[in-house]
Amino acid sequence: MAGVIVCHASATVRERLVVTSIGVPALAPVRAAATADELVTLARRVPPTIVLVDAHLPGAGTPDAIRRLRAVAPAAAVVVLAGPDDGAALDRALALGARGFLAPDIGRAELAAVAAHVQAGPMLAATRAAGVPNPLPPGAADMSTDAGWDVEDEADVPVPEPIELTKREVQVLVGMSNGRSNAQIGAELFLSEDTVKTHARRLFRKLGANDRAQAVAIGLRRGIIR
């Protein structure tokens, strides 16, 4: 398995994501597809590590593309490119094994963090924390219960000290888990980018995290976000 396949019906979105992905070493090599047929053909030749797929592929649609992809590259991590209003499409994709979703306008730094997170373990499909709305509709698949942790010996593991994040810090962490940039998080929370960075530094320190991917992973493990 190697690299990433970007599959999006929009040439503009597809080309931008290809350029963005090329700057992330963990995603090399980068390949592109405009349709489900092209995606499956590329995946059959060399199974990808990650697939970024349009939530609304033409033809038989994204669910069919995911089913066909599973047949030729069952270990590929599928990440759906969708917006907060694409709940129904995301629900179907998650039910078929998609690992999570990202905004199509994700930046390079955020994509690198997501790549590291996907390679380390399952992504977050839906998030909900105090004061933060769930981006998916009620009943949408929540993959946070299948976070890849070994719980067989959970009773023998010491209970860690609780981590207390402020409401803003939790909101920033949720934004990170959704692949948002600092600027995008700031716009959503009506904060400046510098203020978001300050909250990020504080939550990193409280979580003992070195970067976004580790912060999100810890947040999932500790139940701070879901």
Which domain CATH number covers 167? 1.10.10.10
Check if the beta carbon of residue 80 is closer than 8 Å to that of residue 53. Answer: yes
- Domain range for 171 is 153-221
- Same domain? For 109 and 177 the reply is no
The verdict on residue 133 lying in a domain is no
- Same domain? For 75 and 159 the reply is no
The verdict on residue 128 lying in a domain is no
**Structure pTM?**
0.56
| Strand pairing class (50-54; 100-102) | unpaired
The verdict on residue 132 lying in a domain is no
- Same domain? For 16 and 115 the reply is yes
The verdict on residue 174 lying in a domain is yes
Number of H helices, E strands in the chain: 9, 5
**Least confident residue range of 23-37, 77-91, 127-141, 182-196:** 127-141
Average pLDDT of span 156-182: 79
Q: What percent of the chain has pLDDT over 70?
A: 80
Q: Residue 120: its pLDDT value, please?
A: 64
Strands (E), the chain: 4-7, 30-33, 50-54, 77-81, 100-102
Does residue 149 register a pLDDT over 50? Answer: no
pLDDT band with cut points at 50, 70 and 90 for residue 30: very high
Q: Residue 119: its pLDDT value, please?
A: 66
- Same domain? For 116 and 9 the reply is yes
The verdict on residue 56 lying in a domain is yes
Name the domain count of the chain: 2
CA pair distance 5, 174, nearest whole angstrom: 26
- Same domain? For 113 and 72 the reply is yes
- Same domain? For 107 and 209 the reply is no
- Same domain? For 9 and 111 the reply is yes
Which residue from 45, 91, 86, 46 is spatially nearest to 66, judged by alpha carbons? Answer: 91
Final residue of a structural domain among 120, 143, 169: 120
What is the pLDDT of the chain when averaged over all its residues?
78
Q: 30: domain CATH number?
A: 3.40.50.2300
- Same domain? For 12 and 101 the reply is yes
- Same domain? For 11 and 106 the reply is yes
- Same domain? For 42 and 92 the reply is yes
Residue 16 CB coordination number (10 Å): 16
- Same domain? For 168 and 108 the reply is no
Q: Residue 128: its pLDDT value, please?
A: 29
Average pLDDT of span 29-57: 94
Residues 6+ apart with CB under 8 A from 33: 5, 6, 7, 39, 41, 42
The verdict on residue 157 lying in a domain is yes
Query: What one-character DSSP code corresponds to residue 129?
Result: B
CA pair distance 40, 199, nearest whole angstrom: 42
- Same domain? For 50 and 110 the reply is yes
Q: Which two tokens stand for residue 111?
A: 């994509």
Final residue of a structural domain among 120, 141, 162: 120
Check if the beta carbon of residue 7 is closer than 8 Å to that of residue 53. Answer: yes
CA pair distance 149, 179, nearest whole angstrom: 22
CA pair distance 105, 8, nearest whole angstrom: 12
pLDDT band with cut points at 50, 70 and 90 for residue 170: very high
The verdict on residue 158 lying in a domain is yes
Average pLDDT of span 15-39: 91
Residues 175-197 as b or e (16 or more Cβ within 10 Å = b): bbbbbbbbebbbebbebeeebbe
pLDDT band with cut points at 50, 70 and 90 for residue 50: very high
Q: Which two tokens stand for residue 26?
A: 């963990």
Which residue from 225, 200, 192, 45 is spatially nearest to 126, judged by alpha carbons? Answer: 225
Final residue of a structural domain among 75, 95, 120: 120
The verdict on residue 130 lying in a domain is no
